[in-house]
Every structure is written in C-alpha cells, then in structure tokens.
C-alpha cells in the first residue's frame, strides 16, 4: 500500500522560494511512483478551480465557507491564520488521512500544529529555515514535539543539536542544476556587448530581494574602497533587484559619493519580456528593444526575468558578492555557484555553508549587532573585508578562478541539487510506517464543572487542570504551558484565578463547538432574501417593526430576516412579516458581506440598516439589484 504524503506550503506554481521547493519535491516524489502525494497550498481557496488540473491532487488552504470568511474579514489575526492554512488544516487531515504530513514554512506559519490531536498520531515533520540565534521558543517547542525536523543550513542543525535535539536533519532547498551553468566565452562576450558592457569590465554581482536584511550599504562601501585601491579594474556593481522597495539605493549611492554610472541594475520589459542592464534611471522607462513606452521596471518577483535570462546575467559577472545580516538559505548564492562564479558570502547563518574553500567561496568577516525585539544576533558585514576579498578574486590567476568555479558547481550539485536533497528525503520517509490511526476528530467536551482539585504540588495541580478540565495531556503536549502556570502561581496569580481561567477556556471552547454557522440559520428553500438590521434597543427594535409590512408587501417574493441582539429577539416573536430572527453581528453592516461583492459570497439580495446613516457606514453601496425605497406613511 502506497504511503500518502500531504505536503503543505506555498502553491507549487508560486514564484517564491517555498513555491519552488514544493515544485521540485512534489515532482520528484511523483516520479518515483512509490507515493500518493497531495499538495495543500497556501494562497488558494479549498475548492479553487485553478488548481484542479495539477499533476497531483491539490487542495487550497484558504476557507470557502461564508461564515469563516466573514470571521477572517472582521478579525485580522484570524485572517492571518487562514493565510497559513490554520483554519483548514484539521479538515484536510481528516479528509485525506495521510500517513505523512510535511509542513514547509517559516516556523510561525506552522505555530502550534504540534499541539494538534493528529500531530503524533501520524508521521509529522517540519522543514523550516532557521537563520539567527538565539533560537525562538517556537523552534524549541517544535523540536520537542516533532519526531523529525528538517533545516536548510548546517548552522541551524548545529544550534538545535546544541540544545539537545537529535531529530534534526540537514536538507537544503532543492535546486535544479540544469537551469544554471557556465556559458562559453563567446556567449558571454556577445551578451555583454548587447548590454553595452565592455569585455574587460570587472563586474561584481548581487542578486537579491531588496529587503533591509540584505546589506546594501556595506556592499556599496566595500565597492567604493575596492575602486579606490584598484582604479584600473573598470569595476562596476550590478544590483539585480527591485529599486522601488526596501533600501533607497540612489540615496545611498549619493551619500557615499559613488559615480552612479558604475552601479548597474536589470530592467525588464513587460511588453517584449526582454531585459536590459544599465545604470538606474527610475521606473517606467521606454524599452529600446520593442520601443514600447513606460514598459521597463527594475526586476521584481511578480514581473521579472526567466531562469534562462538570469543565467545569462550571472554569466556577465566576474564575481558574486552576497552580503547579508542572516538568511535561511539564500538561493542566489547556489545559482551563482552553478554558473561557476566564486562567491563572497557573509560568514554567518546559512552563509557558513557557502563561503568555505570546499564550496568554492570566500568568507566575509562581520561584527555583531542585535535586532530589536527578538534580540537576534545579526551580522554587519565588514566593508573593508569586502574590498580586500574582491581584490583577491580580481588578482587571482585565471586557472585558479576556473578551478574554484568548477569546485563551486560540484559542491552545489552534491549538496543542493534536486536529486541529492530529494533522495535523502526519500530515504528518511522510507523508514516511516503507514499510519494506523482511525482519524477520529470527534470533539471531546471540556468539563466546565470540574471542581478545583486538592493537590499540594503546583505542577501536579496544573497538570490535573489540563487533564480534567481541558482534556489535554499537558505532559506530552504542553510543557511550556505547565511551566507558565507554575511561574504565575509563584508570582502574580492565586489558585482560584488560575482555576477560573481554565474553566472559562472550557466554556469558550464548548460554546465554539456548538455554534451554528450563520448560513444554517437560513432556509435553503428561500429563493430571495432580505436582511433587516436593528441591533438594539427595545424601543428601536419595536418601532422598526412598523416598516416591515411595507417591505413584505413591496417584495412578496422575498423572505425577510430580522437581525438583532439575542436579548431583543423575543420582541419579534410571532411577527407575521419576517421569516425568522437571527443574531446580530457587526460584520452585517458591511454590505459586501451581505449582498456578495469581492470575496464575499452573499446570502441576501439586499440589506436594510435603518439604524445607520451614510456618515457612519457606506450604506448606499448595494448590489444594484433593487432601488431601495422607504415609505414611512405606508399603512
């Protein structure tokens, strides 16, 4: 019987690092014909038709249910959780019944999955980047509760192992070596000539997303020092990035008094899909290839060069320099190595793997600074060392450069290629047994009436609350929670306050489980519906009922639902003009939710809100199905 593997991350067609990771891993596993693979992809709705024709079964992680979408739009935190698949993860596990779950994401995107009922019942794994020390509590918590955790850099593996974890595997993001390679000299010269780059220019390259963790100021300072010490080099710095986000690069160039003509970038034409390398001249430029106006912008994720074009760009470089504060893997470093470029990399975080002699790289020294809030150790790359290492490469004999370049490519294929990484992953999962869990997700009611236990030891007392009120085996699932409540009992809370908290959590959980989805309150046989809203109070609710006969007569094909707070619903009992009263929710005052606009499905033909005015709400934007009329003299 084939093992079923559920892999959860960005959609495999997304142009992101996680997306490429998914594509390569899923394709490899599919080709083995040994597994049943299912993709659970963030950014797509559960039943999105655009993902139905994938090579493998694909399910979107965003909810499609109107009542959940309503909650996400009114609660930003819930919306964020939905984006990472938190609201549908239990549903997909229950539906697909996988033997193996693999989450490929930053650790906060998988937060507390390891506390799920199913986590230890099946073979659950995490493949996550770790780029800085000290480790986050989430990394520690995940490693404690996960049988196998996979990281992308030896830096991360070492730090987790130093914390006593043995279940840590080193698998970099798999790279396709066929996409990047060294071109012959004729091709290199021809491409340079087309881009107005002299064959003798010494081109220093950096391919990056223009984020603040990429050390652009340090690199510019290092470049300036290199120019000063090597004026004959005809050096230019090629920054392949989008200049409209992140660092204000033109301002940095001006501050450092660098000739702007020496700083090159890549422009991409949205019309003809050709690229042009030249000094920065702003955005929305005219294309010299197709003569289209305002079609060129600096390269970016959503609109940018193909892998074939990027390979040409790497091949115009003489050396690749990646200065950064930290990173999980930094794929451009591996792409540059596949093009047989010597790579200069900050010797911190994942950079430790790619700046060694064995990897065909050179290290860049750095000094420590701390990130506010997290207190992460971050690297400030030494500009003087950037300059001196650039000079090492500039003056290096050609045969030594070629030897290092070939070493760089071989190292990357051995360490990062699809075949190398995915084969090791397959070897890992080959030892997993098929799941024998019955996937019983039935809700276990919390005990709201459990009496306070008479246990002297604080730790045992807290464990008893978890076990008998929340029905959780805290010793197995929540050691941090136990420690937290022990600390609170010794500092600012007494037992009665902690007990009350657990009881309130039990009540809230039980209430959530018995909550009826809003659409289930509506008669599915209704062809047309009106929502009439009057949240409160007794006088307003009672007086507003005088309008109902008018709407009942004017729209005889419609069923009228009256929304008010539960405490006022008795005032509507027996009213002949309404189909039913329903509990009021503030989201109802968003016409898009009620009538169906944008992402909202819409449950009503139109919504009436006589308690509001156009200064409080945009209550005149209806779906244009009806012209709403009020006649207060109607009898």
Query: Per the structure, how many domains does the chain have?
Result: 4
pLDDT along the chain (635 residues), means of 10: 95 87 96 96 92 94 85 88 95 95 96 92 96 91 93 95 93 94 96 95 96 96 98 97 96 97 97 97 96 95 88 98 95 97 98 96 97 93 98 97 97 96 96 92 90 95 94 76 92 95 92 79 91 91 92 94 91 92 84 74 86 49 54 55
| CA-wise closest residue to 301 among 240, 213, 237, 216 | 240
Query: What is the domain-level CATH number for residue 580?
Result: 3.40.50
> Which structural domain range is residue 256 located in?
177-416
Q: 10 Å Cβ neighbour count for 629? A: 9
DSSP 449: T
Judge if 67 and 101 occupy the same domain.
yes
Consecutive H or E run containing 400: helix 398-416
Judge if 156 and 204 occupy the same domain.
no
- Residue 342 near residue 203, CB atoms below 8 Å: no
In angstroms, rounded to a whole number, what is the distance separating the alpha carbons of residues 467 and 461? Answer: 10
Judge if 276 and 138 occupy the same domain.
no
Q: Is residue 42 part of a domain?
A: yes
Give the end of a domain, one of 496, 514, 532: 514
Query: What is the domain-level CATH number for residue 128?
Result: 3.40.50.11930
Give the end of a domain, one of 477, 493, 514: 514
Considering Cα of 234, then 238, then 244, then 246, what sign does the dihedral take? negative
Judge if 145 and 42 occupy the same domain.
yes
- Residue 271 near residue 277, CB atoms below 8 Å: no
Judge if 61 and 161 occupy the same domain.
yes
Q: Is residue 382 part of a domain?
A: yes
Q: Is residue 114 part of a domain?
A: yes
DSSP 180: -
pLDDT at 616: 43
* Per-state percent for the chain, helix, strand, coil, to nearest 5: 40, 20, 40
pLDDT at 599: 59
Angle (nearest 5°) at CA 504 between 501 and 510: 140
Residue burial 18-39, b: 16+ Cβ < 10 Å; e: rest: bbbbbbbbbbbbeeeeebbbbb
- Residue 490 near residue 457, CB atoms below 8 Å: no
Residues linked to residue 381 through DSSP beta bridges, in sequence order: 366
3-state secondary structure of 500: helix
Residues linked to residue 170 through DSSP beta bridges, in sequence order: 151
In angstroms, rounded to a whole number, what is the distance separating the alpha carbons of residues 25 and 610? Answer: 56
In angstroms, rounded to a whole number, what is the distance separating the alpha carbons of residues 285 and 169? Answer: 47
Angle (nearest 5°) at CA 420 between 418 and 422: 60
Q: Is residue 443 part of a domain?
A: no
Give the end of a domain, one of 382, 416, 450: 416
Judge if 525 and 506 occupy the same domain.
no
Judge if 399 and 276 occupy the same domain.
yes
Q: Is residue 452 part of a domain?
A: no
Q: Is residue 628 part of a domain?
A: no
Judge if 567 and 486 occupy the same domain.
no
- Residue 523 near residue 559, CB atoms below 8 Å: yes
Judge if 501 and 558 occupy the same domain.
no
| CA-wise closest residue to 624 among 608, 605, 610 | 605
Judge if 109 and 195 occupy the same domain.
no
Strand 235-240 versus strand 275-279 pairing type = unpaired
Q: H helices within 417-545, ranges in order?
A: 418-429, 458-468, 474-477, 479-491, 495-514, 538-544
Judge if 207 and 116 occupy the same domain.
no
In angstroms, rounded to a whole number, what is the distance separating the alpha carbons of residues 447 and 424? Answer: 46
Consecutive H or E run containing 380: strand 377-381
Q: 10 Å Cβ neighbour count for 72? A: 20
Residue found by looking up tokens 């050096």 in the block: 235
Query: What is the domain-level CATH number for residue 281?
Result: 3.40.50.2000
- Residue 48 near residue 88, CB atoms below 8 Å: no
Q: Is residue 386 part of a domain?
A: yes
- Residue 280 near residue 224, CB atoms below 8 Å: no
- Residue 470 near residue 482, CB atoms below 8 Å: no
3-state secondary structure of 2: coil
In angstroms, rounded to a whole number, what is the distance separating the alpha carbons of residues 435 and 333? Answer: 39
pLDDT at 432: 94
Q: Is residue 286 part of a domain?
A: yes
Judge if 57 and 125 occupy the same domain.
yes
- Residue 301 near residue 323, CB atoms below 8 Å: no
């Amino acid at each position: 019987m084939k093992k079923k593997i559920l892999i959860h991350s960005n959609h495999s067609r997304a142009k992101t690092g996680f997306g490429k990771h998914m594509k390569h891993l899923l394709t490899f596993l599919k080709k083995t014909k040994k597994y049943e693979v299912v993709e659970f992809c963030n950014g797509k709705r559960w039943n999105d038709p655009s993902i139905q024709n994938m090579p493998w079964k694909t399910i979107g992680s965003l909810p499609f249910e109107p009542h959940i979408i309503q909650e996400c739009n009114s609660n930003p935190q819930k919306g964020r959780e939905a984006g990472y698949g938190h609201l549908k993860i239990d549903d997909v596990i229950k539906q697909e019944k996988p033997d193996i779950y693999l989450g490929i994401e930053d650790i906060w995107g998988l937060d507390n999955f390891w506390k799920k009922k199913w986590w230890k019942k099946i073979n659950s794994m995490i493949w996550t980047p770790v780029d800085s020390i000290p480790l986050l509590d989430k990394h520690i918590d995940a490693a404690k509760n996960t049988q196998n955790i996979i990281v992308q850099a030896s830096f991360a593996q070492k730090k987790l192992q130093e914390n006593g974890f043995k279940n840590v595997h080193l698998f970099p993001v798999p790279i396709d070596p066929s996409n990047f390679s060294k071109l012959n000299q004729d091709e290199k010269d021809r491409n340079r000539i087309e881009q107005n780059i002299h064959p003798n220019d010494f081109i220093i390259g950096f391919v990056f997303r223009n984020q603040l963790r990429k050390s652009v100021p340090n690199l510019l300072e290092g470049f300036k020092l290199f120019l000063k010490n090597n004026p004959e080099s005809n050096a230019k710095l090629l920054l392949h990035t989008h200049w409209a986000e992140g660092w204000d690069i033109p301002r940095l160039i001006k501050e450092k008094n660098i000739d702007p003509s020496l700083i090159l970038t890549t422009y991409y034409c949205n019309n003809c899909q050709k690229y042009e390398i030249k000094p920065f001249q702003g955005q929305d430029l005219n294309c010299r290839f197709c003569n289209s106006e305002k079609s060129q912008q600096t390269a970016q994720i959503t609109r940018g060069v193909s892998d074939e074009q990027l390979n040409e760009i790497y091949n115009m470089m003489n050396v690749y320099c990646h200065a950064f504060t930290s990173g999980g893997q930094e794929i451009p470093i591996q792409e540059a190595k596949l093009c047989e470029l010597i790579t200069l990399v900050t010797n911190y975080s994942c950079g430790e793997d790619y700046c060694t002699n064995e990897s065909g790289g050179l290290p860049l020294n750095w000094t420590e600074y701390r990130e506010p809030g997290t207190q992460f150790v971050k690297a400030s790359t030494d500009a003087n060392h950037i300059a001196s290492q650039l000079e090492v490469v500039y003056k290096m004999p050609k045969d030594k450069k070629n030897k290092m370049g070939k070493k760089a490519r071989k190292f990357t294929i051995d360490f990062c290629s699809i075949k190398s990484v995915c084969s090791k992953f397959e070897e890992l999962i080959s030892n997993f047994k098929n799941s024998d869990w019955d996937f019983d997700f039935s809700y276990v009611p919390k005990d709201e009436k459990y009496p306070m236990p008479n246990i002297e030891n604080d730790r045992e007392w807290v464990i008893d609350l978890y076990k008998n009120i929340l029905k959780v085996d805290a010793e197995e699932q929540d050691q941090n929670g136990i420690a937290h409540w022990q600390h609170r009992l010794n500092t600012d809370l007494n037992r009665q306050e902690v007990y009350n908290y657990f009881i309130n959590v039990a009540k809230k959980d039980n209430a959530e489980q018995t909550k009826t989805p809003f659409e289930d309150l509506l008669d599915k046989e209704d062809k047309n519906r009106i929502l009439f809203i009057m949240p409160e109070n007794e006088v307003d609710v009672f007086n507003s009922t005088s309008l109902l006969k008018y709407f009942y007569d004017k729209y005889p094909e419609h069923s009228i639902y009256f929304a008010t707070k539960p405490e006022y619903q008795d005032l509507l009992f027996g009213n002949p003009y309404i189909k039913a009263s329903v509990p009021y929710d503030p989201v109802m005052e968003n016409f898009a939710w009620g009538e169906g606009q944008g992402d909202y499905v819409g449950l009503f033909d139109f919504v009436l809100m006589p308690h509001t005015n156009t200064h409080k709400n945009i209550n005149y934007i209806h779906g244009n199905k009806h012209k709403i009329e009020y006649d207060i003299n109607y009898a």
